[in-house]
């Protein structure tokens, strides 16, 4: 894939490595001379390893990353037709995420950097998602982004490649986490997002009156924990009435849950867009990024909202919504252009908020504020 960029003439070809959760990924992106090209993007998923447990097991994920990282990088280089000594730098996700996977990726990248004498660039995983709209659609700063995934949900004004201002986010579960938990409650396979979406396509979203938490509260903060609990209660009522969960009950529950999540995200997006427009951006744009951005109902409703508000709407191609190495490579290019390079003291950070000026929303502890 090739896109036209701005006027930066410096040619950079960066290898990106991603291992923050359960996808071992590597990708190579080249940018310069007004063009950007994804030369390769390799993702090795782990769904088969975690299926029996109803969710990601950190120890299993970390072991799989350690076993697969070298193969993913080899495949990415081969697909790009390149050798390691031909890349400009090595970018790696250093946080936030599961510490075992992060350590595997960071240590592997350090080894590659030392062996090849290539610069090392540590990347915030959230920045990788938040900057993807610049990779795919060349959005100018500042733009508003809804970052919505299995571990995160927040509204950010991207003011620069290393400057983000949070307008609000979830105070408990992330939407992707809620999708996974609801799928488990209903006996659907993981990952939960695609499973729930498939079932919802044949369901009635109006049959169950599920709550929309925090919609009556001002601001852009969100909550999904109570919605998950409401699904559990509705499921139990269905099972008690019918002696088990019927297929149509499950479909209707999925449709009602998906509709509730979309309603929350759309209304909170409306408020975030209004707050963003109050800053008088020169080229107003609203982007959605992260794994839950793959949901077609949500994408469609957010696109309609953006049109109503008169802002450009951007949703990356589906393969670039979920975790991938190309977004990490691109974020590496963005940081290289700012002269931001790390050394072998780079540490894995399980908690790493993009806006460290904002108060922690998901709690904090000895390791610092969560993202």
Average pLDDT over residues 7-21: 87
Query: How many residues are given for the chain?
Result: 371
Band (pLDDT 50/70/90 cuts) for residue 6 is very low
Strand-pair partners of 183: none
How far apart CA 97 and CA 348 sit, in angstroms, is 9
**Burial tier of 348 (Cβ tally within 10 Å: 0-12, 13-18, 19+):** buried
180-199 per-position pLDDT tens digit: 999 999 999 988 999 999 99
CB 107 within 8 A of CB 264: no
Please give the pLDDT value at position 190: 86
Please give the pLDDT value at position 369: 42
Sign of the torsion formed by the C-alpha atoms of 173, 179, 182 and 183: negative
Select from 356, 326, 321 the least CA-distant residue to 25. Answer: 326
Cα three-residue angle 341-345-348, rounded to 5 degrees: 90
DSSP letters for 137-172: H-PPSSEEEEEESSS-EEEEEEEETTEEEEEEEBSS
Q: CA of 116: how far to CAs of 28, 32, 73, 76, 110, in Å?
A: 16, 22, 14, 16, 10
Select from 90, 93, 84 the least CA-distant residue to 113. Answer: 90
How far apart CA 107 and CA 109 sit, in angstroms, is 5
How far apart CA 81 and CA 198 sit, in angstroms, is 37
Please give the pLDDT value at position 52: 75
Average pLDDT, the chain: 92
Strand-pair partners of 312: 285
Q: CA of 216: how far to CAs of 211, 264, 268, 331, 359, in Å?
A: 11, 11, 11, 37, 22
Select from 331, 299, 328 the least CA-distant residue to 102. Answer: 328
CB 212 within 8 A of CB 263: yes
Position 1 pLDDT exceeds 90? no
Q: Structural domains in the chain?
A: 2-137+319-369 (3.30.420.40), 143-316 (3.30.420.40)
284-315 per-position pLDDT tens digit: 999 999 989 999 999 999 999 999 999 999 99
Position 327 pLDDT exceeds 80? yes
The answer, as to whether pTM is greater than 0.75, is yes
CB 135 within 8 A of CB 324: no
Position 359 pLDDT exceeds 90? no
Q: pLDDT > 70: what percent of the chain? A: 95
78-136 per-position pLDDT tens digit: 999 999 999 999 999 999 999 999 999 999 999 999 999 999 999 999 999 999 999 99
């Amino acid at each position: 894939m090739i896109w036209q960029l701005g006027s930066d003439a410096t040619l950079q070809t960066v290898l990106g490595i991603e291992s923050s959760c359960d996808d071992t990924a590597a990708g190579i992106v080249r940018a310069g001379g007004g063009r950007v090209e994804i030369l390769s993007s390799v993702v090795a998923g782990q769904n088969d390893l975690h299926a029996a447990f109803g969710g990601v097991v950190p120890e299993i994920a970390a072991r799989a990353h350690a076993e697969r990282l070298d193969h993913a990088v080899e495949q990415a280089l081969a697909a790009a037709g390149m050798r390691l000594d031909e890349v400009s730098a090595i970018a790696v996700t250093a946080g936030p995420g599961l510490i075992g996977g992060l350590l595997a990726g960071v240590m592997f990248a350090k080894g590659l950097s030392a062996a090849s004498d290539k610069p090392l660039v540590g990347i915030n995983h959230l920045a990788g998602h938040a900057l993807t709209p610049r990779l795919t659609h060349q959005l100018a700063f500042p733009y508003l982004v809804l970052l919505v995934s299995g571990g995160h949900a927040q509204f950010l004004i991207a003011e620069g490649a290393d400057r983000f201002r949070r307008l609000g986010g979830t105070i408990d579960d992330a939407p992707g986490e809620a999708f996974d938990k609801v799928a488990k409650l209903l006996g659907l396979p993981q990952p939960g997002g695609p499973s729930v979406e498939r079932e919802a396509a044949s369901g009635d979203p109006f049959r169950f009156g599920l709550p929309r938490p925090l919609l009556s509260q001002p601001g852009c903060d969100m909550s999904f924990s109570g919605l998950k609990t409401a699904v559990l209660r509705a499921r139990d009522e269905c099972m008690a009435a019918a002696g088990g969960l019927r297929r149509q009950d499950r479909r209707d529950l999925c449709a009602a849950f998906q509709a509730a999540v979309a309603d929350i995200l759309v209304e909170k997006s409306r408020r975030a867009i209004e707050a963003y427009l109050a800053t008088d951006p020169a080229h107003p744009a609203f982007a959605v990024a992260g794994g839950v951005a793959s949901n077609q109902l949500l994408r469609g409703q957010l696109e309609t909202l953006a049109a109503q508000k008169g802002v450009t709407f951007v949703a990356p191609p589906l393969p670039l919504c979920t975790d991938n190495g190309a977004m990490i490579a691109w974020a590496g290019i963005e940081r290289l252009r700012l002269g931001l390079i790390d050394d072998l003291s780079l540490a894995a950070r399980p908690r790493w908020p993009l806006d460290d000026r904002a108060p922690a929303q998901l709690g904090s502890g000895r390791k610092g504020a969560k993202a």
